[in-house]
Structure 1
Amino acid sequence: MTADLRRISDRLASEGYLTLAPHLYGRGFKPRCMIATIRAHFADTGVAYDDITAAREYLVGDPRCNGRIGLIGFCMGAGFVLQLSPRGLFDVAAAQYGLAPKNIEKLARSCPVVASYGAKDRIVKQGSASALESVLTQGRVDHDVKEYPDAGHSFMNKSGIPAPFTIIETLAGFSYSQPEAEDAWNRTLAFFAKYLTQTPDPSGLSEQNGANDASTN
């Protein structure tokens, strides 16, 4: 697990969520795994999807789980989130600067979605945020989609790469931006709380689980 993924997972856990980060590059030689994962992302099928689904099943089987599962992803991970959100597996999805699927119309059947984009992103196609918001609106899917005018790609991530190589991030338009990152986090956590927090029974007779759940990739 990278330091950044640990930071993200810890933040979700600090909010009381049972958090699991599946290792999508853990099946052998890392470069080969990365290539397979990228191919799976665009093919909408493959081992990466199996691993994410297995992570969901693991959480559902945990006695601390209340049965509600959220999915969050960043960059390519957000692409997986958008591909998986219409499959009926998750109660809420958070996609941070993710590529929308080619058949974006299927997202009209998505679970509720919170998504964040940067207007200065050089990786994600311009107009992705508005296209996503449009199809979710047409499908009457509850959503919170926001594009930040001064943010680039990966503005919620801290890569931690050595200083001499940060020029590569700059050229690619990758840059952490705290104001936008914090706003995106606040929106994401509010959306997760809406759909993952178990509503108490007014009679006081319902059985409560002490934790809610999120799967991150």
Structure 2
Amino acid sequence: MGEIVTFKSNGHTCNGYIAGSGPGVLVIQEWWGLVPHITEVVDRLAAEGFTALAPDLYHGESSTEPDGAGKLMMALNLEQAVKDLSGAVDLLQERSGGGKIGVVGFCMGGALAIVAAAKRGDAVAACAPYYGVIGWPSIQVDYSAISGRVVGEYAESDDFAGPEAVRAQEAAMREAGVDVAMHIHAGAQHAFFNDTRPDVYHAAAASEAWARTLDLFRATL
């Protein structure tokens, strides 16, 4: 089991759930908040030999209902969220001996994982976005700043991050020189990795995606 930790975030503070030892991995929440599914991902990474940290981007708030989660996501201060992620990267490097780190994110967090990989290209060696594409007009991402490998996991049936949007983002990254591969899982829906949601969980896709993510982190960190 992990613990709640407080870290600095550009003049502010942010809490997060941290567990494990070894190379660092940043875990970025879905739109629900820092909920048990996300802390379980942290624990799973810790069991695989990593120091994993999930920052609480909603600063204490969460929701179990789509309407509430949507409101929280819409109210998210993206500029502060990016600062929180950068502070989390710093803490992970401090805890893991200063080496390169990986980042994995889900839904909203999948998009933010790509943002973090670009904003902290100095530190991020691997990025694993799950069913998230960047769709915020206020965030301009310089894909050429991404120095690590990007291996994404997406669903064939997804109203938020559909195959067409995924392929467009992949092409833009590749054009910018990024080592990128986006995998689209046939028969899977958005949030297929979330085993707390039996309506969308897809065991085969989740298992395949997780194995590939672990391989990515073991090869690069």
Corresponding position of 1:148: 185
For these two proteins, the number of residue pairs brought into alignment is 179
Please identify the structure whose Cα radius of gyration is greater.
1
1:85 aligns with 2:85: no
Answer whether contact 1:37 1:47 (CA < 8 A) is retained: no
Output the amino acid matched with 1:143: V
The residue correspondences of 1:101-112 to structure 2 (distance < 5 A) are 101=135, 106-110=142-146, 111-112=148-149
> Take 1:73 and 1:79, find their aligned partners in 2: how far apart are those partners?
7
**Structure 1 residue 38 displacement after superposition:** 3.6
**Structure 1 residue 26 displacement after superposition:** 2.0
Corresponding position of 2:171: 134
**Structure 1 residue 3 displacement after superposition:** 2.3
1:108–1:127 Cα change, 3 Å? farther
1:157–1:33 Cα change, 3 Å? closer
Relative contact order (alpha carbons < 8 A, sep ≥ 6): 1 or 2 greater?
1
Corresponding position of 2:202: 177
1:7 aligns with 2:40: yes
Corresponding position of 2:52: 19
1:189–1:47 Cα change, 3 Å? same
> Take 1:18 and 1:105, find their aligned partners in 2: how far apart are those partners?
27
Which has the larger strand fraction? 2
The residue correspondences of 1:38-77 to structure 2 (distance < 5 A) are 38-40=74-76, 45-62=78-95, 64-77=96-109
Answer whether contact 1:25 1:34 (CA < 8 A) is retained: no
> Take 1:157 and 1:57, find their aligned partners in 2: how far apart are those partners?
27
TM-score by length of 2: 0.70
Answer whether contact 1:79 1:99 (CA < 8 A) is retained: yes
Structure 2 unaligned regions, length at least 5: 1-33
Runs (4 or more) in structure 1 with deviation over 6 Å come to 31-34
1:100 aligns with 2:123: no
> Take 1:46 and 1:121, find their aligned partners in 2: how far apart are those partners?
27
TM-score by length of 1: 0.71
**Structure 1 residue 35 displacement after superposition:** 4.5
> Take 2:202 and 2:166, find their aligned partners in 1: how far apart are those partners?
18
Answer whether contact 1:26 1:33 (CA < 8 A) is retained: no
**Structure 1 residue 34 displacement after superposition:** 7.4
> Take 1:15 and 1:143, find their aligned partners in 2: how far apart are those partners?
24
Corresponding position of 1:122: 159
